[in-house]
Amino acid sequence: MTPPVFLTEPGDLDSDRVLLSGAEGRHAATVRRITVGEVVHLADGTGTRARCVVVAVGKDTVTCQVRERVVDPEPAPRITVVQALPKGDRGELAVEVMTEAGVDAVTPWQAERCVTRWKGDRAAKGPAKWRAAARAAAKQARRSRVPEVSGCASTREVADLLGGASLGIVLHEEGAVRLSTLEPPEGAFDPGGEIVLVVGPEGGFTDAELACFDEAGAVRALLGPTVLRTSTAGVAALSVLQARCGRW
């Protein structure tokens, strides 16, 4: 049976003995009923993973002895998905499935035609929910790196991301090229190389948004013959890019 995975804070795995406490400690001790002598895997969310043996269990804590430590290399190219805010809890769903599929960063975007608006308390609660979804999905997928989730970006900030990327892509039903035929430029595989993919809202892009992204040098690409929800288009496109880049 595959050992369970628990997340630690960055830097915790520098020590040979690690104490799991808080939510992770309660989950390990109370929910998973981890016992002394059991093998577990710990990941710090920034690329370090460790194979450990449990040496002590408390009410809400588990103490682990590190037996083997590995640092996973950063994926190349880095893939960031700009996700327009979906309705309801579909945003968390989008983050969950994209995390499982290997996204490196997610940027929420409040497009003009988004029904959902992150205002007031939601401006902080929205990203927090997405980060929690990314963290939980990273554990499920046994990832050593938890995707970064930024605050909500403006259209101008999204254009800046596209302009600074090795390859900027906007998913659009009238795209001149198919996403599956796009060839990542050589620079995308260099240190710091990045692909930025923009997924629009249910109501579609406005002409002004598309013009802004065109000016930034983004490529409009067609994913396929069917129209996907904004919450599922990202993971489908990410899967294509993973294969095109050789990450899968």
Domain ranges (residues) in the chain: 5-71, 78-245
> Architecture of domain 78-245 in CATH?
3-Layer(aba) Sandwich (3.40)
Give the pLDDT score at 167.
97
Say what the pLDDT of residue 187 is. 86
In angstroms, the CA 128 to CA 25 distance is 21
pLDDT in tens, 167-195: 999 999 988 899 999 999 988 899 899 99
Could you name the CATH architecture of 5-71? Beta Barrel (2.40)
Tell me if domain 5-71 and domain 78-245 are identical in fold: no
Whole-angstrom Cα distance, residue 128 to residue 126? 5
CA torsion angle 222 223 225 230 (round to 10)? -110
At residue 204's C-alpha, the angle toward residues 175 and 110, to 5°, is 120
Predicted structure pTM score: 0.93
- Name the strand (E) or helix (H) holding 237: helix 230-244
- Whether the predicted pLDDT of 12 surpasses 90: yes
pLDDT of residue 186: 86
Q: Look-up: residue for tokens 């009410």?
A: 59
The mean pLDDT of the chain is: 94
Question: How far, CA to CA in Å, does 126 sit from each of 42, 43, 86, 199, 225?
Answer: 27, 25, 11, 18, 32
pLDDT digits (tens, 9 = 90+) for 53-112: 999 999 999 999 999 999 999 999 999 999 999 998 899 999 999 999 999 999 999 999
